Amino acid sequence: MSIIKFDEEYFMRKAIAQAEIAAEEGEVPVGAVAVKDNHVIASSYNQVEKLKDATAHAEMIVITQAANAIGGWRLDGVDIYVTKEPCAMCAGAMVNSRVHRVFFGMHDPRCGAVCSALQITSFPGMLHKVRVSGGLLEAECSEIMREFFRKVRKAKQKQPNK
The residues carrying an active-site annotation are: 59
- Answer for the pair 80, 99: CB distance below 8 angstroms, yes or no: yes
First to last CA, the chain: 65
Instruction: Show the beta-strand stretches assigned E in the chain.
Output: 31-36, 39-45, 78-84, 101-106, 131-134
The one-letter amino acid code at 86 reads P
- Comparing C-alpha atoms, which of 74, 69, 47 is closest to residue 58? 47
The tally of CA atoms less than 13 A away on the side-chain side of residue 41 is 19
CA distance 76 to 131: 12
Other beta carbons less than 10 A from residue 71's beta carbon: 6
